[in-house]
Amino acid sequence: LDEVDGVRKVRGDVRDAEQMRRLVKGHDLVFHLAALISVPDSYERPRSYYETNVGGTLNMLEACREHGVKMVHTSTSEVYGTAQYTPMDEKHPALPQDMYGLSKVLNEETAAAYTRRCGMTTVCLRLTTVMDFQNVRWSEVHRDEAYGWLAQHSTVYRLLDRASFMRRIPLSAIHDAAG
């Protein structure tokens, strides 16, 4: 990952609850991006996906709750499973077909429960077709076409407008969205 001013990246293990408590302490916002993400691998190692993705998110939620820290976490369009209709939107039923998608549904619901029960601030970004536009050759993909495609196929495109598309969104914008 690129270096970002004011952001401290840490290598650790979200399954280690004590480490998560130590790392969260003293901060006001955590971006929880840790997860096992391979759909095919989730068929082969479902327990690992449950322990890492669900158990790790629970550890992060507990650490954030204990220290009064806001949490932004990522989910995935894999929570939808096979499309019941297109384009899929936030009202589409969650019908995951693998442990990866199921783990993300469980994470979303667990975070929502922490928000309701504990008054914690959590924000879930359900990402769809994440693309690295820094490494795309613009002769092949044009910004307007890419923006239009994202607007039709993504459940998070509303976070972007034409001015912010194709550039980094300031951390303060996400922090403000987290309340």
Per the CB < 8 A criterion, the answer to whether 128 and 74 are in contact is: no
- The number of C-alpha atoms within 13 Å of 5 and in the hemisphere containing its C-beta is 3
Single-letter amino acid, residue 98 = D
Per the CB < 8 A criterion, the answer to whether 162 and 136 are in contact is: no
Distance (Å, rounded) from C-alpha 60 to C-alpha 34? 10
Catalytic, 100? Answer yes
Q: Which of 100, 114, 147, 157 is catalytic?
A: 100
Catalytically active residues are 100
